[in-house]
Chains A and B, each alone.
Chain A
Amino acid sequence: MSKNESVVAIAKSNDDRRFWVVLSWCCLVAIALAAIIAPVATAASAESSGWMGFRGDGSGAAVDGPETLDTGEGGNLAWKVPMPGRSVAGAIVVGDLVVTTSSAGPDGGRLFVTGVDLKTGEVRWEQSFRSTGRPFCHPTSANAAPTPVSDGENVIAFFSSNDLVCLSTRGDLIWYRGLGFDHPKAGNDVGMASSPIIAEDAVIVQIECKGDSFATGIDLKTGEDLWRIDRPKSSNWSSPLPIDRADGTVEVVMQCGTDVVAVDPRTGQSRWKLDEGRATVPSPTLSGDYLMLPGDDLLVMKINDSGSAPDEAWRSGSFSPRNASVVASKDRLYALKGSVLVAGMIETGDRLWQERLSGLSGGYATPAVAGNRIYVFDQSGNGAIIEDSGDDAEIIAEVSLEESVLASPALADGKLIVRGVDHLFCFE
């Protein structure tokens, strides 16, 4: 008797009627649940067009952003909210929720994760913890330095002290890891800043310093260790970057002063390695098939279909950034060299224009791009929108936020979210 036949036979008994009633009931519940869950799942999908990590999807680009930056009356500053501590970490946007981290207290050891309503600026929830690792950092920086990351359902916040926390988007604690407690010599007393990523349900952090130097993958669902690999004992602030390959696999690219490696997010096993040291402040960038590795020059590699190391497309010293990472939109890339913004073609490396941003000094914040508008902030909190008109550029808006900005701004739903050291700003 086949399985189907046995089900039919069973259904002939009296009990079978009950069975089918329950089955029907369960199906109805399932349909009702599907109706409830479906919009959530859709929202989660839509959230992928949000800004869910350092530089959003890894390129620093979004579809749309504000036309101007005006904090005056009648301007486009939608809201400005004081935060519970300092931060140099970028904010992220998950659906209609902005998530930002802060650190406070005499030594920056009080850690905060704050969920803010994107439309109103109202604080929806806040969690606070105490650092379990080394909280020390340079006075211009903060323990809240790495940008959080989300998969649409969970929020991962990470701090210079190597405290790693997973919250739901409702602010509930899912799990907590004290990687600085587990590895007390992991840290840099100038401050760490590498941002976490999520790939294949693994949280990956790159903790590279002169003490305990390693990268690790942690299960997103349970907080348990998946893998840990030793990394060179040298200071590094660059962040890991997930890249999708043609065969549907994901790799995590990590660059440091001695090499570039790509590892499997679930096992940490090496997929390919480039024996060439790259920059230790800016991070790798991905746009389409192009992987951009900053260093003394910008090395641009094209991701191939073979699964092996990407192929070198071109390299040029014209686009090597200072502190900020390179960003890219459509066929363009933009590199911030101090207060000079340089634009070029991703495919060829041809330089299109360079613009000295006269009102801005140097800084650390990686720009963000929406269409042909590039949003740049310096360390003093001066910001500008630069419009790329093809073979030329023009500053179309300038603003002073009157507080230091070291964090990369976020773009979502046409809004620009800027995390100043003490406040969170939203321009619409």
Chain B
Amino acid sequence: MNITKKLINNKTALICLIIITTIVILGILAPYIAPYDPNKVRIVRKYAAMSSQHWLGCDHLGRDILSRLLYGIRSTLFLSLLTMIITIVVGSLIGLISGYQRGKLDECIMRLCDIMLSFPSQVMILAIVGVLGVGIENVIIANIVVKWAWYSRMIRSSVIKYSRKNYILFSRAIGAPHSFIICRHLLPNVMSELVILATLDTGWVILNISALSFIGLGVQAPTAEWGLMLSEAKNVMTQHPKQMVFPGIAILIVVAAFNMLGDCLRDILDPKDQKHE
């Protein structure tokens, strides 16, 4: 299909994609392009203003903000993506089994999902982090535990929807193996819906990890992380309001880019649209 072509024609999607790719590349190259060591404390440069040496200034310990932002991509974005990937794999696997097998197993899994979904997700995350202890690993675990049920639900319903299609009935009638039906028929169809869900949700996860780092439950100091940077800047909000600007903008741009890309992908991948070419 010419999804790539449509992606290029859709300006918003293209811009979002370029922003995300650039940020990912910057994150990967952080050790080579960051002007300073992100954790090097130079107390003489405390709250230094923007200058040619420190483009975005320095924080309360005199650390270069630009370098910290670049290194922050690694913790903020990459940890969010890691969380997303694990959640999606676990969630869709369970959803696939549930929707494909139906019967008693499906019933059990869905009631379990109901239980998981009946708790407000933030409260659940706080509770899990509270039990397991503070730390980024536990925040990731909590996110997965809270989110898998949501994905399982979505994937299950679309698996059921596609299972009723005639081409899958045909495959079953001629005795095609389950692996064939799942890999060739179900996954490609479900995948397009999954991509949209995942893109829209990445923004949520980034915010969540940043928020938990902000309140001190996620990434721990001195690691550079955007939420944590915001949290440190918050202490001097009145005296040095500029400290909050850059990490705030960074989060805003990434989250907005993911959300808008998700919206565009929904339009692009809509199969009904493809018929009107």
**Interaction A to B:** no
Which chain B residues have a beta carbon within 8 Å of chain A's beta carbons?
none
Which chain A residues have a beta carbon within 8 Å of chain B's beta carbons?
none
